[in-house]
Amino acid sequence: MTRRDNLTLYMKGDRDVEVKKQNVTLGDILSMECTDKNILATVKSMTVLKIRSQKHQRYVISVLRIIQFIHEKYPDLTIENLGETDIIITYETQKTPAAAWHIVKIIFVAVVTFCGAAFSIMAFNNDVDVTRLFGQIYEQITGQESSGYTILEISYSLGIIAGILIFFNHFGRKRFTVDPTPMEIQMRLYENDIQTTLVENSARKGEELDVDGSGNNSGPADPAGNHRS
């Protein structure tokens, strides 16, 4: 091999990568840049993980392990990692689930959320006794007994509708502003939590593919609480 000092390989990976083939190459899980295009092409095609079994599987690989792997071939190459330090590789077999089942699930969630939201608002109204409260407010202001169907109930309903639409920031496909909706944010947060949990679980169990076998990120957070007296 010729002298290759002063060469730097930059790489950046997402935290969660889905692969569909059993031979996972570095190019599948990372995006890379290097001034030497030959090295770049070789490194990208290096197989970093061979998945043996056909079924759905998940691996967590440390970037240190990847760097070690590249260094085995190019010891003088400087590697700069600009992305995540642990990468979750999910092997998904190519079967697409039946469309009918997918629709059933969507309908189930839709009905649950619809009934749940309807129940929640009714439970809330019941809990704080909105009917009686509106009667009291009506009497306070007009001095007359409320019939139960006054402008208060109507405007409250309109207010609920407006509040929900403002809060969710869209109805149907029509968005009111370019911001993501609260549910989209929640969904991403949830995914993030799952990824963090996967990485930490795997590190704690020593299953993470890392340079020294066991988890490298058992930092100051002591899970067993041993630092207590």
Partner 1 sequence: MWTDQVTTAVQQILLGIIGLSSGVAVAGGLFSFIVELGVIADFADRTHTGDQILFYEDCVALGGMLGNLFFLFRPALSALFPIQTVLLVIFGLFAGVFTGCWAMGLAEILNVFPVFMRRTRIVRYITVLVVCTALGKGLGAWLFFYRGW
Footprint of partner 1 (CB under 8 A): 97, 102, 105-106, 108-122, 124-126, 130-131, 134, 137-138, 141-142, 148-168, 170-173, 181-184, 186-187, 189-191, 194, 225
Identify the bridge partners of residue 12 per DSSP, sorted by sequence position.
Answer: 31
Q: Cβ 49 to partner 1, closest distance in Å?
A: 24
Residue with tokens 């759905």: 56
Instruction: Kindly tell me which of 25 and 169 has the beta carbon lying closer to partner 1.
Output: 169
d(Cα 60, Cα 193) in Å, to the nearest integer? 15
Q: Cβ 63 to partner 1, closest distance in Å?
A: 26
From residue 82, give the alpha-carbon distance in Å to each of 14, 15, 31, 187.
Answer: 10, 12, 10, 25
User: Using an 8 Å Cβ cutoff, are 69 and 44 in contact?
Assistant: no
Q: Cβ 96 to partner 1, closest distance in Å?
A: 11
Instruction: Kindly tell me which of 14 and 36 has the beta carbon lying closer to partner 1.
Output: 14
| DSSP conformation class of 70 | H
d(Cα 12, Cα 48) in Å, to the nearest integer? 15
Instruction: Kindly tell me which of 38 and 149 has the beta carbon lying closer to partner 1.
Output: 149
202 CB-near residues (< 8 Å, 6+ apart): 59, 60, 208, 215
User: Using an 8 Å Cβ cutoff, are 29 and 17 in contact?
Assistant: yes
User: Using an 8 Å Cβ cutoff, are 44 and 26 in contact?
Assistant: yes
Q: Cβ 110 to partner 1, closest distance in Å?
A: 5
Instruction: Kindly tell me which of 182 and 206 has the beta carbon lying closer to partner 1.
Output: 182
Pairing mode of beta strands 8-13, 78-81: parallel
| DSSP conformation class of 208 | S
Q: Cβ 137 to partner 1, closest distance in Å?
A: 6
Instruction: Kindly tell me which of 20 and 71 has the beta carbon lying closer to partner 1.
Output: 20
Instruction: Kindly tell me which of 41 and 137 has the beta carbon lying closer to partner 1.
Output: 137
Q: Cβ 186 to partner 1, closest distance in Å?
A: 4
